Amino acid sequence: MNLSATRGALAAVALSLSALAATAQENPECIAPANPGGGWDFTCRQVGKSLQDQGLIDQTMQVVNLAGGGGGVAFAEVVNKRNDADNLIVAASSATATRLAQGAYPGNTMDQVRWVASVGADYGVIAVAADSDVNTLPELLDQIKSDPGSVSVAGGSAVGGWDHLKVLIAADAYGIEDVRKVKYIAFDGGGEAVTQLLAGSVQAFTGDISEAKGFVDSGDIKVIAVLAPERLGGEFAEFPTAKEQGVEAIGANWRGFYAPGGMSDDAYNAWVSKIGDLYASDEWKQVMAANGLAPLDLQGAEFQSFVADSVARIQSISKEIGIIK
């Protein structure tokens, strides 16, 4: 108790001094629960910029980076301190759902906030170097099945994180009994993982299509499977899905927003409709195309139940592979 009183006092002092942290209530604000430069930061900044460009908001959306605990710090902050802020949305993704499902935000659950809308999905890919002997997903999974030690799979998330789960989902769907034998190497972000694939340190890469796109264009890597229900549109249409290769695995890293649980219905509906309008615009379609985001058009109640579903599904996979009990 004493500790939190000290914290409160410090906060008051720091707030009164800090011009940086001052926000007026009517100013739209987006919390990116990570340091600048990551996917959540991108979601906030890109959506903020596009909303302003299209006149859906009058002022510049203020982006606050509240890093820590893989988004847990921001989640706790919103639940505990910003519960009735009407001007606030928070960037979220499958990683948020994964951590909520695995109980990695101590004491927090998905019901404590209101889920606003999605702005697209980044489907998972499994890729190998361009000069690899492996050409299809079943070939790779056969190698893993017969000699798990011979294939290192690199990804940008920690063990148990979304990049790891994607490859486990595929392995599970292919009938690999003990998916815990799959050798996963965690790197600091998808970019570093792809670089190590190019360097030949690892044999396969699991990540999002947007992380892989630049290297596919340059001919350095080949995508052997997209974890999408059907082939994607545009220039991504050439990538085979896992499904058409007989592996029933789907892994979409959706991007979207949640808002404080105590947000008024008026404000919530306004946010839902603004982001819905943005999603429907041509400009956003271009942004999605340029960044390899596939359509995922869910708002309000629909989005809420979508997130609930994905949390439940991740929970059951995580139990199966022994990440949670």
Partner 1 sequence: METLANLGDGFAIAITWQNLLLALLGCFLGTIMGALPGLGPSNGVAILIPLAFTLGLGATPSLILLTSVYYGAMYGGRISSILLGIPGDEPAMMTVLDGHPMAKKGMAGEALSLSGVASFVGAFFATWGLILLAPQLVKIALLFGPAEYFALFALAFMTLGGVSSTNQAKSAFAAALGLGLATIGVDTQTGVPRFTFGEVHLYDGLDFLVAIVGLFALSEVFIFLETRHGGAEADGKKMVIGKLYPPMSMLKACTPTMLRTSFLGFIAGVLPGAGASLGSFISYSMEKRLVDKKGTFGTGDPRGVAAPEAGNNAAAGGALVPMLALGVPGSGTTAVLLAVLLALNITPGPLLFTQNPDVVWGLIAALFIANFMLLAMNIPMVGLFTRVLMIPSRILMPIVAMVSFVGIYGISGSTFDLLVMIGFGVMGWLLRKFDVPLVPIILGTLLGNAMENNLRRAVTIDNGNWWTLVDSPLALTLWAIAIIGFVLPLIVGARVKAGMHARRDDEGAISD
Q: Using CB under 8 A, which of the segments 134-142, 156-164, 252-260, 293-301 binds partner 1?
A: 156-164
Q: Which of residues 93-132 bind partner 1 (CB under 8 A)?
A: 104-106
Q: HSE on the CB side for 209, CA within 13 Å?
A: 31
Indicate which single residue of 57, 68, 83, 273 sits in contact with partner 1 (rule: CB under 8 A): 68
Kindly state whether residue 160 participates in binding partner 1, applying the rule CB under 8 A.
yes
Kindly state whether residue 36 participates in binding partner 1, applying the rule CB under 8 A.
yes
Whether 72 contacts 108, CB under 8 Å: yes
CA distances from 310 to 98, 218, 313 (A): 8, 34, 5
Kindly state whether residue 201 participates in binding partner 1, applying the rule CB under 8 A.
yes
Q: Which amino acid is at 84?
A: D
For partner 1, the closer of residues 34 and 272 by Cβ is: 34
Q: Using CB under 8 A, which of the segments 29-37, 238-246, 269-277, 297-305 binds partner 1?
A: 29-37
Q: Which of residues 280-319 bind partner 1 (CB under 8 A)?
A: 286-287, 290-291
For partner 1, the closer of residues 108 and 241 by Cβ is: 108
Query: Exposed, middle or buried, 138 (CB in 10 Å: 0-12/13-18/19+)?
Result: middle
Q: Which pair of tokens denotes residue 122?
A: 């980044």
Indicate which single residue of 80, 109, 111, 200 sits in contact with partner 1 (rule: CB under 8 A): 200
Query: What is the residue-wise DSSP string for 173-229?
Result: HHT-S-GGGSEEEE-SSHHHHHHHHHTTS-SEEEEEHHHHHHHHHTTSEEEEEE-SS
Whether 252 contacts 296, CB under 8 Å: yes
267 φ, ψ to 5°? Answer: -65, -40
Q: Which of residues 237-276 bind partner 1 (CB under 8 A)?
A: none
Kindly state whether residue 14 participates in binding partner 1, applying the rule CB under 8 A.
yes
For partner 1, the closer of residues 158 and 270 by Cβ is: 158
Q: Using CB under 8 A, which of the segments 44-52, 138-146, 245-253, 262-270 binds partner 1?
A: 44-52
Kindly state whether residue 234 participates in binding partner 1, applying the rule CB under 8 A.
no
Q: Which pair of tokens denotes residue 268?
A: 């919530």
For partner 1, the closer of residues 259 and 298 by Cβ is: 259
Q: CB of 251: closest distance to partner 1 in angstroms?
A: 18
Q: Using CB under 8 A, which of the segments 9-17, 174-182, 248-256, 272-280 binds partner 1?
A: 9-17
Nearest to 92 by CA among 31, 149, 40: 40
